[in-house]
Structure 1
Amino acid sequence: MDLSHPITMIMAALGLAVVALLLFDRLAPMTSGRLGLALEQRMSGLRLRHGSAEGLAMPYLEGGSGAPLVLIHGFAGDKDNFARVARFLTPHYRVIIPDLPGFGDAARDPSAPHTVEDQARRLAALLDQVAPGPVHLGGNSMGGFIAAQFAAMYPERVASLWLLDAAGTEAAHSSDILRHYEATGDMPLLVQKEQDFNTLIAACTVKEPLLPHGVRVLLGRRGAADFALHTALMKQLSEAPLLRPQPAYGAIPTLIVWGEQDRILHPDGAASFAALFPRSRTIMMRGVGHLPMLEKPRRAARDYLAFRRNTNTV
């Protein structure tokens, strides 16, 4: 190899840089993980902001301009679950992605209730500060349950809904994984030790999204630290009253998205949500599991943009 040739020198330098990054990822995974998440946020045009509700810290990501689009993560998730898909949304909307109390970088208070209604109320309090008035609301899994509950509690504040593999109906909860949880208390969303995060990702996706080693370590350690709290919160969530038909639901344009290979929440849940929301459109995503916005972010965003155009929502 002629190292004096400019192209060869550049390739050699790039190779050394990649090796250095891989070593850093392995030797300092927590720092690497935090930097990796921050880089993805920046690439999506998002900035970290600080908010609170009921005395509980609720940091959130914000980027873009225009009509507010608020996105709510699922159980064991956080605001970064939507950072990848936000890359295709911030050119069109003002995207707001909070951490719910008990998750991500939000406050932990084991003595506080964390029911679906409690989280919807806290979300409303946060939005009073950062996005008063109607918003377009989306949510995945537990976040979809909270979004639908929010729409029942505050229908005047919801311009449209985007429900991605949402919890909250009997059909959605009929999966083998949730039945196993009801019988044993064991499920992949409860991370007991750092390595269990890999089990969580495998259970939630068909083709695992690219997640560097440092990010997996960071999220695995955080999940293990939250194991006792999340075990209690999962019990509260499993005992939550299911969604019921609401007069307000009939007026809300709703996009229902479901991964056909979702193992956490049964794909039959899509039809049950379509029955709840008469002005809805349903998209079943082939080869996708529980996290469409992570597994197929470009397609998920494209479908959402088309939905917004076709429903003429402001």
Structure 2
Amino acid sequence: MVRGYTRYVSDASPDLLVPTLGIRTRAWQYGDPAGEPLILVHGFRGDHHGLEGLAGLLAETAPELRVVVPDLPGFGRTPAIPGREHDLRLYGEWLRAFVAEIAPGGFGILGHSFGSLVVARAIADGLDPSRIMLINPISSPALEGPNGAMTRLAIAYYRAAAVLPESRARRLLGDPLIVRVMSEVMAKTRDPELRSWIHRQHAEHFSDFSDSATLLQAFRASVSHTVGEFAAAFAAPTLLIVGDRDDITPLPEQLRLQRAIRGSRLRIVPGVGHLVHYEAVEDATVFVAGFLRETAAERAEPDARRGAAVDAGESGR
């Protein structure tokens, strides 16, 4: 293992098929099947593989957890939802339906990148997690700031694909050279082995989408919203994990998001960009596991004080 990431070989339970909005969502489970549920939501153009390292390390670090990682509709091994626009509203609706099926008794939620938007929208529409964790949240408008030029290029790229027949659109959207350029831009590590591994991950999993129309709809959703739009709906303890070299959402915008989410905590990973889940998965695991322990202890303290007050009252009778 190279420091900062792991080639985690999954010993997860057989993948789950969860009925959601007329499809069956494919998901993978790590840790204790009877443990406290923690649901991880991956980013745009990815699938569960992107969060597999984090899920595996969390299962080792906090064996009391049941970590579940689904493939978003239209990505990986989960089909698109027929007859629906794959906008942020739909993805939020899907997440609420998925959670209701697998964790009706309470859960924590974590979203990376586009997954942070899906989580935020679901919370605004009624999802009620006990703890919220966002890694590289989308906190600034896509066309503003230092990443605006790159976003405009991406919009032109996806618009070009939209006018092509499906077979040609898939070839363009999955072009290995273009995928490699995207990977080179996002990767910040100078470790050649780690950098090569990241490029292989993107080459293997970045083009595993159901069809070009769904991908284009999801792209529009990813560049049309920010987590800050939904910040007022966050009621549970919230942890933000960010890289200080993130080109998609600069650090000042992440600090602004922290102020917008009341009581949220921020952990900054130096020298890392938008790929914390690859380049600093060990750090992310430590932050998430620590946050879960801290918030569990904080929840237990008022209960203990109430119990002590009851005992004192009874003893005084």
Q: Same fold judged by TM-score > 0.5? A: yes
* Distance in 2 between residues matched to 1:148 and 1:105, nearest whole Å: 23
* Structure-2 change in CA distance of 1:56 and 1:191 (3 Å): same
Contact 1:194 1:220 survives alignment (8 Å): no
After superposition, the C-alpha distances for 1:53-110 in whole angstroms (9 at most, x for unaligned) are 1112320111112211101011111111110111221132100111111211110357
The one-letter amino acid of 1:279's match is G
Change (3 A) 1:292 1:149: same
Q: What is the rounded CA distance, in whole Å, between the counterparts of 1:123 and 1:137 in structure 2?
A: 10
Partner of 1:72: 41
Which amino acid in structure 1 is aligned with residue 107 of structure 2? V
| Matching residue within 280, 285, 292 for 1:308 | 292
Matched, 1:142 2:114: yes
User: Under a length normalisation based on structure 2, what TM-score does the superposition of the two structures give?
Assistant: 0.74
Picking from 175, 184, 204, the partner of 1:218 is 204
Q: Which residue of 2 aligns with 1:122?
A: 94
Bigger shift: residues 267-276 or 158-167 = 267-276
**Structure 1 residues 283, 75: closer, same or farther in 2, change over 3 A?**
same
- Change in CA separation of 1:110 and 1:50 when aligned onto 2, cut-off 3 Å: closer
Q: Which residue of 2 aligns with 1:33?
A: none
Q: What is residue 17 of structure 2 aligned with on the other side? A: 50
Q: The residue matched to 1:128 in structure 2 has which SS?
A: helix
Residue number among 251, 257, 267 corresponding to 2:241 in the alignment = 257
- Separation in 1 of the partners of 2:114 and 2:202? 21
Deviations 1:108-142 (A, max 9, x none): 35742112221111111112221113211000111
Structure 1 SS opposite 2:249: coil
Closer/same/farther in 2, CA of residues 230 and 306 from structure 1, 3 Å limit: same
Matched residues in 1 for 2:198 and 2:68: separation?
A: 25
- For 1:276, the equivalent position in structure 2 comes to 260
- The match for 1:36 is none
Match in the other structure for 2:56: 87
- The within-5 A match list for 1:1-314 is 40-43=8-11, 45=12, 47-65=14-32, 66-91=35-60, 92=62, 93-109=65-81, 111-155=83-127, 157-167=128-138, 169-170=139-140, 174-182=144-152, 185-186=155-156, 191-207=173-189, 208-209=194-195, 211=197, 217-219=203-205, 222=208, 226-240=211-225, 243-244=228-229, 248-249=233-234, 251-312=235-296
Alignment check: 8 A CA contact 1:53 1:126 kept? yes
CA contact (8 A) 1:134 1:159 kept: yes
Shift, 1:231, TM fit:
2.6
| 5+ long unaligned stretches in structure 2 | 1-6, 159-171, 300-317
On the 8 A contact 2:107/2:129 being kept in 1, the answer is yes
Q: CA deviation at 1:192?
A: 4.1
After superposition, the CA RMSD in angstroms is 3.0
- Matches of 1:184 and 1:201 in 2, distance apart? 13
